[in-house]
Amino acid sequence: MRKFPENDSVLTESGSNRPLNVRMTLRDVLYVSYALPAGRMRNLIPDNLSLATAGDDMSFISIVALHSTQVRLNLLSFLRFKYYQLNIRTYVKDPVSGKNAVYFINSGVTSRFISLVTRISGIPWQFIDLETVVNTQNEKDSYVASGYWEGEFSLRAQIFSNDSKNTLFFENRKAAVDFLIRPLIGFVGDNRRLGRFTIQHPEVEPQSCILTGLEFPLFTGMGIVDELDEPHSVFFLPTADFSIYLPPTRIK
């Protein structure tokens, strides 16, 4: 397989050989991550991927809610879209570069058009109902994501700005952020058809949060996480520019 040059501060590989570039500005992104022994996660990823781990063989599963704005495709640059998105994802090793990557277990979007386009290009994003609300009017800023995806769900968090939390199993906070937020390679699919795509975004510095509530039947039905009220970390990112290079490359 072709190996690509490293540019860790911005982009793992250029993506210039992919015909479709989807650019957007992400807003109000919430990352809720749980640490689990790697053995409990193995069956969630395809056979030809290996889990990325930290600490004493700990793997991670995350719920990520976000609002995508100013979404435009290079082939239809005159159009602009916006939609909400919810992902359930874990972290793997990229067999091409050896770097950490994200494997998307489930993803849903609130745009029927984007769901169709991504499915055609090999990324199975489902159409769901979701909205996120950030309240900055009170003394303590709050975040709520709610909607319907195989059942009604909601995520609620209280936003802080301190940097002292969310580092268990990692050397420091930056190492945790790099592992959980900054991978620039993504995988979708299963053992029959696994696709690899690259993304681009600048370095980010999220705020730390406390989870105040989580009801998510699709997630709890997986039977992976026992204590929903005890995540490893909760991060909030107000805004970031983001690009995806499609269609995914087939991984055998």
Other Cβ atoms closer than 10 A to 33: 22
The C-alpha atoms of residue 181 and residue 188 are separated, in whole angstroms, by 17
Who's near 201: CB < 8 A, 6+ residues apart? 26, 182, 184, 240, 241, 242, 243
pLDDT, one tens digit for every residue, the chain (252 residues): 223 233 333 334 555 567 778 899 999 999 999 999 999 999 999 999 999 999 999 999 999 999 999 998 877 777 788 999 999 999 999 999 999 999 999 999 999 988 987 888 778 899 999 999 998 776 678 999 999 999 999 999 998 865 556 689 999 999 999 999 999 999 999 999 999 999 998 888 899 999 999 999 999 999 999 899 999 999 999 999 999 998 889 887
pLDDT at 165: 60
Any domain includes 137? no
CATH label of the domain that carries residue 85: 2.40.400
Q: Residue 25 belongs to what domain range? A: 20-130+160-208+232-251
Helix, strand, coil shares of the chain as percentages rounded to 5?
10, 50, 35
Total residue length of the chain: 252
> By the 8 A CB rule, do 32 and 61 touch?
no
Query: How far apart are the C-alpha atoms of 203 and 158, rounded to whole Å?
Result: 23
DSSP states along 50-108? EE--BTTTEEEEEEEEEEEEEEEETTEEEEEEEEEEEEEEEEEE-TTT--EEEEEEEEE
Position 4 in a domain: no
Q: Is residue 196 part of a domain?
A: yes
* Rounded-to-integer distance, Cα 205 and Cα 226, Å: 29
Residue 149: its pLDDT value, please?
97
Calpha distance 146→63 (Å, rounded): 13
| 3-state class (DSSP) for residue 209 | strand
What local confidence, expressed as pLDDT, does residue 2 receive? 29
How many domains is the chain partitioned into structurally?
Answer: 1
What's the pTM value of the predicted model, to 2 decimals? 0.90
Q: Would residue 139 count as lying in a domain?
A: no
In a domain, residue 53? The reply is yes
User: Burial letters for 155-168: b for 16+ Cβ neighbours within 10 Å, e otherwise?
Assistant: bbbebbeeeebbbe
